[in-house]
Amino acid sequence: MKYKVEYLDPEDLRKLQLDRLRNKALQVYNNVSYYRDAFDRARIKPDDLQTLDDLRILPLTDKETLRAYYPFGMFAVPMSLIKEIHGSSGTTGKPTVVAYTDNDIKVWSEVMARSIACTGGTYLDIIQNAYGYGLFTGGLGVHYGSLELGSAVVPLSSGGSKRQLQLMQDFKTTILTCTPSYSIYLAEYAESLGIDPHETSIRIGILGAEPWSDAMRKQIEAVWNIKAYDIYGLSEIIGPGVAVECEGQDGLHVWADHFLPEIIDPETGKPVPEGQDGMLVITTLTKEATPFLRYATKDIVSMTTGKCPACGRTMPRISRIKGRTDDMLIIRGINVFPSQIESVLLEIEETEPHYQLVVTREGALDELEVQVEVDEKFFSDEIKVLESLEKRIKREIESLLSIAVKVKLVEPRTITRSEGKAKRVIDNRQI
Ligand code: DLL
């Protein structure tokens, strides 16, 4: 299946984008107080957006904005039109909230169907979907895309590796969708059970939600004997399906008829020249429930325009995600901000606000250890007391983050103090 829009002449694409941008600007101006204020402060009206570049006069929106308007203050339509609500990690205890109308789900299904098709998937494929179903957008995003494309989706969600392998063999699934690190873990687990990953019917991996490298791609392709493609997205924009690789495996095509990309210098806010690294900023051109103008993804990429030599699509390509401008970590596909952990620790009387997060990759899976100093008053040699405190902290953090963590209590004044910014994170993963 080929979506013609993916091959639009660049001039026609710009016209379509401008037309959609002007409509969207009017919608948010009329319905979202945050954007009305932003336009008023810039002393412009939506109608003054005469070119795509005119957008730059508006400020960036980010997770902090969403936090300030938690939970529904950024909605641009009445609740009666909202059909689904998702969330992503906020910087502290509360998630960022995003919503979908009927049409938003249609667009999401379309961009995900296009993404699966872009990697070579068709209606004949059986998709083993091992992204988590829930508030996280990975599971349902792939699910909707598969329905739209006409392939068969097996909604396994994340985890349950034994069952994943059993059904993979019995159902002869042909596409695996999960995080890249889980795909490696699953292959290793298969081998440990005496199952040869080469003997399965998997032919394509559509992998994302966390950073990975070309070296990891080679490893995954070799261990499974498949083609592994990078898929990118974020809840605030729609979920997975913002950008994906084609057979060229040289950059991810951004579905720019729905998501208008800009690459800016995160320090100055100025656009960076083509091919240079900067922060990806996205404007949703068609989203109805939670449309965002100039959403700061905090992801560092470079962008290339022009017809793709491999597939002929004219949609711009972004590089792999090269890093972040903030301190967000992704542990087993789940976004974690040190400030979230801090907010838990500050509530616990027995600990000091001195902590460090140590991230390692054990085999293919990420481990997060939270080391925290115990208050002198409470520090006791009684192992039982310390163990129960450790367990309590672990429980609290795990219930906020939904991932397993290790907690290690350390003696007062043992975590290295810094004279400047505290070094909260030691990331020992080699990705
Ligand atoms: O991770 C959506 C998604 C699901 C994408 C399944 C791909 C596959 P969030 O939980 O909101 O949404 O996290 C978004 O994850 O800003 C990036 O920092 C990171 N991320 C997503 N895809 C990739 C990728 C989903 N392919 C945040 N490579 C983004 C590197 C990625 N980082």
Give the domains, in start order, of the chain with CATH numbers: 1-324 (3.40.50.12780), 329-427 (3.30.300.30)
Dump pLDDT digits (tens) for 50-61.
Answer: 999 999 999 999
Q: Report the nearest-CA residue for atom 12 of ligand 1.
A: 234
At 363 the pLDDT is: 83
* Nearest-angstrom CA–CA distance, 89 and 419: 29
At 208 the pLDDT is: 96
Q: How many angstroms separate the alpha carbon of residue 326 from the centre of ligand 1?
A: 14
| Average pLDDT score over residue span 382-408 | 93
Per-residue pLDDT band for 84 (boundaries 50, 70, 90) equals: very high
**Which of 86, 234, 327 has most ligand 1 atoms within 8 Å of its beta carbon, as the pocket-test mutant?**
234
CA distances from 94 to 67, 309, 355, 401, 402 (A): 8, 44, 21, 10, 13
| Average pLDDT score over residue span 259-273 | 97
More confident site: 91 or 302: 302
Q: How many angstroms separate the alpha carbon of residue 165 from the centre of ligand 1?
A: 25
At 377 the pLDDT is: 83
Q: Contacts for 9-14 with beta carbons within 8 Å, 24 or more apart?
A: 9/314, 10/305, 10/306, 10/314, 13/256, 13/257, 13/314, 13/315, 14/52
At 313 the pLDDT is: 97
At 379 the pLDDT is: 76
Residues making up the chain, counted from first to last: 431
* Nearest-angstrom CA–CA distance, 178 and 164: 11
Dump pLDDT digits (tens) for 33-50.
Answer: 999 999 999 999 999 999
At 69 the pLDDT is: 97
| Average pLDDT score over residue span 274-281 | 97
Q: Which residues line ligand 1 (CB under 6 A)?
A: 88, 131, 136-138, 208-211, 230-235, 239-240, 297, 299, 321, 324, 330, 335
Q: What are phi and psi of 330, to 5 degrees?
A: -120, 115
Other CB atoms within 10 A of residue 13 CB: 19
| Average pLDDT score over residue span 172-179 | 98
Burial track 274-306 (b if 16+ CB lie within 10 A, e otherwise): eeeebbbbbbbbbbbbbbbbbbbbbbbbbbeee
At 383 the pLDDT is: 84
Q: Report the nearest-CA residue for atom 18 of ligand 1.
A: 299
* Contacts (Cβ under 8 Å, ≥6 apart) of 113: 1, 145, 146, 148, 149
Q: Report the nearest-CA residue for atom 30 of ligand 1.
A: 211
**Which of 299, 337, 402 has most ligand 1 atoms within 8 Å of its beta carbon, as the pocket-test mutant?**
299
Which helix (H) or strand (E) segment holds residue 233: the answer is: strand 227-234
Dump pLDDT digits (tens) for 90-103.
Answer: 877 788 999 999 99
**Which of 232, 255, 320, 429 has most ligand 1 atoms within 8 Å of its beta carbon, as the pocket-test mutant?**
232
DSSP string, 114-144: HHHHHTT--TT-EEEE-SPPSSSHHHHHHHH
Of the candidates 136, 214, 202, the residue with the CA atom closest to the CA atom of residue 169:
202
Q: Which atom of ligand 1 is nearest to the CA of 333?
A: 1
pLDDT, the chain, mean: 95
Tokens matching residue 266:
């995160």
At 206 the pLDDT is: 98
| Average pLDDT score over residue span 6-25 | 98
Q: Which atom of ligand 1 is nearest to the CA of 298?
A: 16
Does the pLDDT of residue 322 top 80, yes or no?
A: yes
* Nearest-angstrom CA–CA distance, 334 and 403: 8
Does the pLDDT of residue 114 top 70, yes or no?
A: yes
Per-residue pLDDT band for 200 (boundaries 50, 70, 90) equals: very high
Does the pLDDT of residue 17 top 90, yes or no?
A: yes
Q: Report the nearest-CA residue for atom 23 of ligand 1.
A: 209
| Average pLDDT score over residue span 274-297 | 98
* Nearest-angstrom CA–CA distance, 334 and 171: 28
Percent of the chain with pLDDT over 70: 99
Q: Report the nearest-CA residue for atom 21 of ligand 1.
A: 209
* Nearest-angstrom CA–CA distance, 185 and 366: 10
* Nearest-angstrom CA–CA distance, 18 and 10: 12
* Bridge partners of residue 254, in order along the sequence: 243
At 431 the pLDDT is: 78
- Is the Cβ–Cβ distance between 359 and 347 less than 8 Å? no
Does the pLDDT of residue 105 top 70, yes or no?
A: yes
At 362 the pLDDT is: 83
* Nearest-angstrom CA–CA distance, 38 and 24: 14
* Bridge partners of residue 176, in order along the sequence: 128, 205
At 423 the pLDDT is: 81
Q: How many angstroms separate the alpha carbon of residue 360 from the centre of ligand 1?
A: 20
Q: What is the pTM of this model?
A: 0.93
At 346 the pLDDT is: 87
Query: 3-state class of 296 per DSSP?
Result: strand
Q: Which amino acid is at 190?
A: A
* Contacts (Cβ under 8 Å, ≥6 apart) of 272: 263, 264, 265, 278
Percent of the chain with pLDDT over 90: 87
Q: How many angstroms separate the alpha carbon of residue 328 from the centre of ligand 1?
A: 11
